[in-house]
């Protein structure tokens, strides 16, 4: 893809995610269903954190493209390294996990992750923007841009650390409020919950490996060309 076209795409993707993140964080709290508690605000949901992550990623990607267009290659090289690390370790595996896990649980029993009462607060388009569109965006990014993945050990350590931070945040919220961020968690004993978290981490690691596989199949081992 031409760099000018890629720049436009990354700009539009950044604007889209910024708009979606703005929209969900400005849902009127006084209309929230009884299942939704205020502590932690929107920032207790992985879906919302992912929207911010995607906005940051596409903002960095847009900046890298602009720097390449104006021939600031030394600066571009540093920004591209940050872009690739963001995408490989977080942007692709997290967005894939959010979309697939949400719709799997939603199909099984939506009350476990997205109570029906939320339909009166969150518009249908916003639900799909948060939980559906993130997956094709992630796949399209692999198709249009080559990304250099870090050493496997480094990538998995970073991913595991971020997962640990989010799980710690969820547990902290429960310790303070006595409520789980997602109703699903209330169904498990402590041991079962530990197994659920471990299983979720294994799944997101598999998505990391899948992203690396797709990137290698499409772009090979060649380095990014300025």
Span 69-110, pLDDT tens digits:
887 777 888 899 999 999 999 999 999 999 999 999 999 999
Give the helix/strand (H/E) hosting 47. Answer: helix 46-69
Span 154-205, pLDDT tens digits:
999 999 999 999 999 999 999 998 989 998 999 999 999 999 999 999 999 9
> Residue 150 in 3-state DSSP?
coil
Residues contacting 36, CB < 8 A, separation 6+: 118
pTM above 0.95, yes or no: no
Residues contacting 134, CB < 8 A, separation 6+: 50, 51, 54, 95, 98, 99
Q: How many CA atoms lie within 13 A of 31 on its CB side?
A: 10
100's tokens? 């697939």
Q: Which residue has the higher pLDDT, 225 or 29?
A: 29
> Residue 1 in 3-state DSSP?
coil
212's tokens? 């690396």
Span 103-117, pLDDT tens digits:
999 999 998 889 888
**pLDDT of residue 134 exceeding 80:** yes
């Amino acid at each position: 893809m031409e760099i000018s076209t890629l720049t436009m795409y990354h700009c539009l993707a950044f604007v889209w995610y910024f708009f979606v993140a703005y929209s969900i964080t400005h849902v009127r709290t006084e209309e929230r269903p009884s299942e939704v508690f205020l502590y932690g605000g929107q920032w207790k949901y992985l879906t919302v954190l992912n929207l911010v992550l995607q906005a940051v990623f596409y903002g960095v990607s847009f900046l890298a493209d602009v720097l390449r267009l104006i021939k600031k290659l030394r600066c571009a090289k540093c920004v591209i390294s940050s872009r690739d690390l963001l995408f490989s370790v977080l942007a692709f595996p997290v967005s894939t996990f959010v979309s697939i896990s949400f719709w799997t649980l939603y199909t099984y029993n939506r009350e476990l992750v997205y109570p029906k009462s939320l339909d009166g607060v969150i518009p249908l388009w916003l639900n799909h923007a948060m939980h559906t569109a993130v997956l094709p965006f992630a796949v399209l990014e692999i198709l249009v841009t080559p990304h250099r993945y870090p050493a496997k050990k480094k990538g998995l350590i970073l991913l595991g650390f971020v997962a640990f931070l989010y799980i710690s945040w969820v547990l902290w919220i429960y310790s303070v409020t006595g409520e789980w961020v997602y109703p699903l968690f209330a169904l498990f004993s402590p041991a079962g919950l530990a197994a659920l978290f471990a299983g979720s981490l294994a799944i997101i690691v598999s998505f990391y490996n899948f992203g690396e596989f797709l990137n290698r199949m499409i772009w090979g081992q060649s380095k990014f060309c300025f």
